Amino acid sequence: MKHYISKLLILGIIICLLAACGKESSLEGASGRNDDLSGELTVYTAIEEELIPEYTKSFEELYPNIKLNMVRDSTGIITAKLLSEGKNTKADVVWGLAASSLLALDQKDMLAGYTPKGSEKILTPYKDSEEPAKWVGNTAFMTGVVVNTVELEKMGLEVPKSYEDLLKPEYKDLIVMPHPASSGTGFLTVSAWLQMMEEDKGWKYMEDLHKNVASYTHSGSKPAKLAASGEFPIGISLVYSGVTQKQQGAPVEVILPEEGLGWEVEANALIKKDKDNQQLAKAFLDWAISDEVMKAYYNANGFSTMKNDFSKPDGFPSRVDEKMYKENSLDWAAKHRDAILEKWDSSFGKKAEPKE
């Protein structure tokens, strides 16, 4: 009897542990009822965190029974995560990820072709040229220079007008920009410089700029926020982030550099899976370019991948579309991504020694 109790005790402890382990969330549950879609859908996204609830509002109204599991991180991390998880990824769809990252996923055969309803309205440069489409763009994001006018005035410095201006020695240690390996914004900026200035000059430019850069941040929006708080008065950052900081009352201006803006399409794709959760995923992809949410994208980014007559959101600099660098090639960026990042890391990591 006694030893029976003691064994029970040990068993109990083990069960205790296992029960603690067992609280794993279940991802299945698509019951597949067509008239009334319900279940859970795992969405990987790199969309700016504060925008997500704003966008998904209309989805929740449309499909109240679908629960979205949002996994958000910066572009580089989400891409790396998807690549490493490979076929075992929990993601059902990718929403609002840089198109060049989606191209990299496609090279690993991770994407399924699906042309969502209404994709004919999306302009050609912003969607996959093949049918069925592997990716379709919602909007584009571009980099500008966010400057804190109050701090610059205090220091008696002029507001920079171009990328070339940023090289001036008086801006030393005042500039922050996103790290291209972890941030999509950082990468598109670097890739645009390399294309705009041609490779050799582009690298030379970055070398000169590096002398003025105080820090490379993890995300593309952080430089705007650092500029807003005056911590570092000049941030190479998302135009969108600069605008939001301005709307919240920070003393910043968003400068569109004369040379042109680097940009990247924010696009959606379906993950190739054996498991059948596709119906929900397709419904999501259809919604993701529906008119209502397209309008919301526009309000946030001041740009749309479809022909539109939406009115410019407040505080947004005008002529963004014209300033966008026309010959920007996403294919080129995707193809050279690894090489660019490797070179970047070896040229600028090395110089990050303490400046005594």
Contacts of 147 (CB under 8 A, 6+ apart): 159, 160, 227, 233, 234, 235, 252, 253, 255
Toward other proteins, which CB reaches closer, 58 or 69? 69
The nearest distance, CB 129 to other proteins, in angstroms, is: 29
76 is a site residue for other proteins (CB under 8 A): yes
By C-alpha distance, which of 58, 348, 33 is closest to 203? Answer: 348
Toward other proteins, which CB reaches closer, 133 or 280? 280
Report the DSSP beta bridge partners of residue 263: 142
218 is a site residue for other proteins (CB under 8 A): yes
70 is a site residue for other proteins (CB under 8 A): yes
Sites for other proteins among residues 235-274 (CB under 8 A): 241, 248-251
The nearest distance, CB 307 to other proteins, in angstroms, is: 30
Toward other proteins, which CB reaches closer, 73 or 164? 73
62 is a site residue for other proteins (CB under 8 A): no
Query: How many other C-beta atoms lie within 10 A of the C-beta of residue 290?
Result: 15
169 is a site residue for other proteins (CB under 8 A): no
Q: Which amino acid is at 156?
A: G
352 is a site residue for other proteins (CB under 8 A): yes
The nearest distance, CB 5 to other proteins, in angstroms, is: 8
DSSP 19-61: HHHT-PPP-------SSS--EEEEEEE-S-GGGHHHHHHHHHH
Helix (H, G, I), strand (E, B) or coil at 68: strand
Chain centre distance of CA 54: 16
Sites for other proteins among residues 16-35 (CB under 8 A): 16-17, 20-25
Residue selected from 182, 185, 189, 304 as contacting other proteins according to rule CB under 8 A:
182
Rg of the chain, C-alpha, whole Å: 23
By C-alpha distance, which of 104, 72, 125, 94 is closest to 273? Answer: 94
Residue selected from 57, 87, 90, 117 as contacting other proteins according to rule CB under 8 A:
90
Q: Which residue has the tokens 């994407």?
A: 111
Sign of the CA dihedral running 151, 156, 160, 165: negative
Sites for other proteins among residues 309-348 (CB under 8 A): 341, 345-346
Toward other proteins, which CB reaches closer, 323 or 337? 337
71 is a site residue for other proteins (CB under 8 A): yes
The nearest distance, CB 130 to other proteins, in angstroms, is: 27
The nearest distance, CB 120 to other proteins, in angstroms, is: 31
Residue selected from 58, 62, 77, 335 as contacting other proteins according to rule CB under 8 A:
77
Taking the C-alpha atoms of residue 233 and residue 254, their distance in angstroms, rounded to an integer, is 12
- Tell the burial category of 24 from Cβ atoms under 10 Å away from its Cβ (0-12, 13-18, 19+): exposed
By C-alpha distance, which of 262, 238, 263 is closest to 252? Answer: 238
Binding mask 101-130 for other proteins (x = CB under 8 A): ------------------------------
The nearest distance, CB 333 to other proteins, in angstroms, is: 17
Bond from prior residue into 354 cis (ω within 30 degrees of 0): no
Residue selected from 93, 102, 140, 228 as contacting other proteins according to rule CB under 8 A:
228
49 is a site residue for other proteins (CB under 8 A): yes
150 is a site residue for other proteins (CB under 8 A): yes
Contact 41, 281 (CB under 8 A): yes
Binding residues vs other proteins (CB under 8 A): 2-3, 6-7, 9-10, 13, 16-17, 20-25, 49-50, 52-53, 69-74, 76-77, 80-81, 83-84, 90, 150, 181-182, 213-219, 221-226, 228-232, 241, 248-251, 341, 345-346, 349-350, 352-354
